């Protein structure tokens, strides 16, 4: 081992001489560098080497390389030799480490990341070795192929070889097939579309496109996910004319395999919107069928454009036609959602043809309503549109009432109730609320809140009577979710009637199931808001804490802490010791330590404040 260390240090002597000659480091820094490297070399020379031994050496050398680069810039000198020898040493350390720990994918990734900057010519070879260990991950085959393709595009056969080997192991990998397709498509787009190959009448571009089609055909046999084929179609749009025939084949295939998939119809409709009309592809196919074989030419020999230029309005019309065919054939809520979402997106994002787009949206919403498959969120949009129209209130109510016949969801009831409130139709509001409060249960809490807000806003005598009735009924309900309404009732009485009436009602509600800690804290908050702190107020305030400790004192240490703080700040300090003993005797054993800790923290906080 000693001979190995001595030999390695001897090889490093020229580097130390250069450091000294160019005054990169001071003599003591160079000596420290020698000692550090000697220790690191000893670690990797021992029999049982760990991954951390190599990593420590690599990190040190990377730091040294960074320092040399910075010194090079500051001094304005070239230190190519020093940097190259450091990089070589790092590369060697990585190779030795990976020979022993090749199962660590993270190490390979770090090695490749370093090599791309320092020795890019080595990266392809590193990927090849990595694939022998981690070829089970399709992404590594993709990364290897993309690096080689971007680094040296003239080496296309090697790129194809990597991807084909990857597909042998992962024939159903969507990402791998997609990568191969896109690379071949790029090659086809860059190929010469004029030159003929020997006696053939096709161009080099035609040959490349045949390879693209071959990749697609191979994936068609192994992949069953529609999204993959839709991504291929999107890639083809980047070279729309070149890939027109392939687009037609892809669309025919996916229409056969996925004819009941809403996302297929959605994608085809949006293609129409982007100007890729399916009819143009069908016309192209018909023209090719009508042409005699002897008359067929290379795709580039003809200057006829496949996709015709159309106005924005016409593209929208064609898009709507596809959606209409889709909803008629599929008759599902999902396709209606896609159709209506597309129309809404058009109305938001397009400034031209505004009137026509609004008409298309209105027709889509009307047809969706008649289909009985429209989602409540689209009814919400329709309600908003009609609500903004001066004469749309009655129409909105009629449509939502019809919709409730087949969709009795909470959201639909909320929309109809909102429409009645917007029309200020109090009898209809009361009638609808009376119907749903008996059937919705706790789930109808939002309807109670809407009706309460409506009557509070009206603030006439009739509204006050209705409001009192609704609050009284709400307080009788035993659902825990209705605690919010009890608190709302206390606030209403406190601010709109009298504090005395609020306190009397609180005294009743505090003992009426279901018990709610929120109710007591709401009453405390109201009492705290008063400036008057007379004896009766303090008594009412203390009563709140008594209720809290009575009903929640076994499992809530915080109520005792709050009670003690009240007596300390507003009540009788002599009661604190008694409250502490009550808390310790009342709390369940598992909560005693929490109480003691919180009490100690409160005591410390008070001492600091003083």
Does residue 203 form part of some domain? no
Same domain, 10 and 93: yes
pLDDT tens for 39-54 read: 888 888 877 889 999 9
The last residue of one of the domains, among 47, 71, 101, is 101
Does residue 76 carry a pLDDT above 90?
no
Same domain, 521 and 593: no
The last residue of one of the domains, among 548, 567, 595, is 548
Q: What is the mean pLDDT of the chain?
A: 90
Instruction: State the pLDDT at residue 609.
Output: 43
Q: What is the mean pLDDT of residues 191-196?
A: 75
The 10 Å Cβ neighbour count of residue 444 is 20
Same domain, 9 and 77: yes
pLDDT tens for 104-140 read: 999 999 999 999 999 999 999 999 999 999 999 999 9
Does residue 24 form part of some domain? yes
Residue 203 phi, psi dihedral angles, 5° rounding: -90, 170
Same domain, 534 and 577: no
DSSP readout, 128-181?
A: HHHHHHHTT-HHHHHHHHHHHHHH-GGGHHHHHHHHHHHHHH-TT-HHHHHHHH
Does residue 450 form part of some domain? no
pLDDT tens for 478-523 read: 899 999 999 999 999 999 999 999 999 999 999 999 899 999 999 9
Does residue 444 form part of some domain? no
**Proportion of the chain in helix, strand, coil states, percent, rounded to 5:** 80, 0, 20
The last residue of one of the domains, among 43, 76, 101, is 101
Same domain, 26 and 96: yes
Same domain, 24 and 86: yes
Do the beta carbons of residue 246 and residue 264 sit within 8 Å? no
Q: What is the mean pLDDT of residues 264-287?
A: 94
Does residue 319 carry a pLDDT above 90?
yes
Same domain, 490 and 509: yes
Does residue 501 form part of some domain? yes
Same domain, 9 and 64: yes
Does residue 82 carry a pLDDT above 70?
yes
Write out the residue range of the structural domain in which residue 565 sits. Answer: 554-609
Same domain, 527 and 558: no
Provide the H-helix boundaries in 332-460: 333-349, 354-371, 376-387, 393-404, 410-422, 426-439, 445-458
How many domains is the chain partitioned into structurally? Answer: 3
Same domain, 39 and 57: yes
Does residue 209 form part of some domain? no
Does residue 399 form part of some domain? no
pLDDT tens for 412-469 read: 999 999 999 999 999 999 999 999 988 888 999 999 999 999 999 998 899 999 999 9
pTM of the model: 0.83
Does residue 428 form part of some domain? no
Do the beta carbons of residue 247 and residue 261 sit within 8 Å? no
CA–CA separation, 269 and 277 (whole Å): 9
Same domain, 85 and 18: yes
Cα distances (Å, whole numbers) of residue 42 to 36, 49, 50: 10, 10, 12
Same domain, 96 and 2: yes
């Amino acid at each position: 081992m000693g001979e190995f260390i001595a030999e390695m240090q001897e090889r490093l002597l020229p580097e130390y001489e250069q450091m000294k000659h160019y005054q990169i480091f001071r003599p003591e820094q160079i000596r420290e560098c020698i000692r550090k490297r000697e220790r690191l070399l000893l670690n990797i020379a021992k029999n049982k080497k760990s991954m951390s031994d190599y990593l420590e050496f690599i990190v040190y050398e990377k730091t040294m390389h960074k320092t040399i680069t910075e010194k090079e810039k500051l001094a304005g000198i070239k230190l190519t030799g020093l940097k190259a020898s450091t990089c070589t040493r790092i590369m060697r350390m990585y190779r030795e480490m990976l020979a022993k720990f090749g199962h660590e994918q993270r190490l390979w990734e770090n090695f490749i990341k370093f090599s791309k900057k320092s020795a890019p010519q080595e990266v392809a070879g590193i990927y090849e070795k990595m694939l022998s260990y981690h070829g089970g991950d399709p992404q590594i085959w993709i990364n290897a192929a993309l690096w080689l393709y971007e680094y040296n595009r003239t080496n296309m056969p090697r790129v194809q070889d990597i991807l084909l080997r990857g597909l042998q192991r992962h024939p159903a990998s969507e990402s791998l097939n997609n990568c191969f397709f896109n690379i071949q498509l790029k090659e086809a787009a860059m190929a010469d579309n004029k030159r003929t190959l020997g006696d053939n009448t096709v161009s080099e571009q035609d040959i490349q496109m045949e390879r693209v089609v071959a990749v697609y055909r191979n994936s068609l046999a192994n992949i069953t996910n529609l999204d993959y084929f839709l991504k291929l179609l999107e890639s083809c749009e980047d070279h729309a004319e070149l890939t027109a025939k392939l687009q037609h084949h892809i669309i025919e295939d996916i229409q056969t395999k996925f004819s009941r998939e809403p996302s297929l119809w959605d994608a085809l409709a949006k293609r129409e919107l982007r100007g890729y009309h399916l009819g143009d592809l069908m016309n192209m196919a018909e023209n090719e069928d009508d042409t005699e074989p002897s008359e067929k030419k290379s795709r580039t020999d003809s200057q006829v454009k496949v996709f015709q230029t159309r106005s924005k309005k016409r593209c929208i019309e064609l898009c709507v036609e596809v959606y209409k065919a889709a909803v008629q054939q599929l008759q599902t809520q999902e396709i209606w959602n896609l159709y209506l979402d597309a129309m809404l997106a058009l109305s938001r994002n397009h400034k031209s043809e505004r009137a026509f787009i609004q008409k298309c949206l209105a027709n889509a919403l009307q047809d969706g309503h008649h289909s009985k498959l429209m989602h409540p969120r689209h009814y919400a949009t329709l309600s908003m549109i009609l609500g903004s129209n001066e004469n749309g209130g009655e129409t909105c109510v009629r449509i939502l009432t019809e919709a409730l016949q087949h969709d009795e969801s909470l959201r639909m009831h909320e929309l109809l109730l909102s429409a009645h409130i917007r029309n200020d139709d109090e009898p209809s509001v009361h009638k609808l609320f009376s119907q749903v409060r008996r059937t919705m249960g706790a789930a109808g809490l939002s309807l109670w809140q809407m009706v309460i807000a409506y009557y509070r806003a009206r603030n006439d005598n009739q509204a006050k009577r209705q409001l009192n009735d609704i609050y009284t009924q709400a307080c009788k309900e035993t659902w825990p979710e209705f605690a919010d309404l009890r608190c709302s009732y206390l606030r209403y009485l406190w601010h709109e009637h009298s504090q005395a009436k609020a306190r009397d009602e609180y005294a009743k509600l505090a003992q009426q199931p279901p018990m709610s800690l929120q109710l007591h804290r709401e009453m405390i908050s109201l009492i705290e808001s008063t400036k008057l702190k007379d004896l009766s107020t303090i008594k009412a305030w203390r009563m709140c804490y008594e209720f809290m400790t009575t009903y929640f004192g076994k499992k809530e240490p915080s109520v005792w802490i709050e009670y003690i703080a009240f007596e300390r700040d507003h009540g009788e300090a002599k009661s604190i010791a008694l409250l502490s003993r009550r808390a310790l005797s009342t709390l369940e054993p598992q909560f005693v330590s929490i109480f003691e800790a919180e009490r100690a923290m409160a005591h410390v906080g008070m001492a600091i404040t003083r």
